[in-house]
Amino acid sequence: MSYDIKMILASFLILSQAFSAPPSQPIEKMGRDCPTGYLTSGNYCVPTKSSNYAIPKSGSCPIGYLSQGDYCVAAKDTENTALPRSDSCPPGYLIQGDYCVETKNARDAVPRIGDCPIGYYINGDYCVAGSGTNKTVIEKTGSCPIGYHTYGKYCVSNY
Of residues 95, 90, 130, the one with CA closest to residue 110: 90
pLDDT digits 0-9 by tens, 30-59: 989 999 999 999 999 999 988 999 999 988
Distance CA 79, CA 59 (A): 21
Q: What pLDDT score does 21 carry?
A: 52
Smallest CA-to-CA distance from 109 within 87, 92, 132 is with: 92
Are 128 and 137 a contacting pair, CB within 8 Å? no
Please give the pLDDT value at position 23: 67
The residues, any chain, with a CB within 8 Å of residue 151's CB and separated by 6 or more, are 117, 118, 137
pTM: 0.75
pLDDT tens-digit series, residues 63-107:
999 999 999 999 987 888 899 998 899 999 999 999 999 998 899
The ranges assigned to domains in the chain are 21-157
Length of the chain counted residue by residue = 159
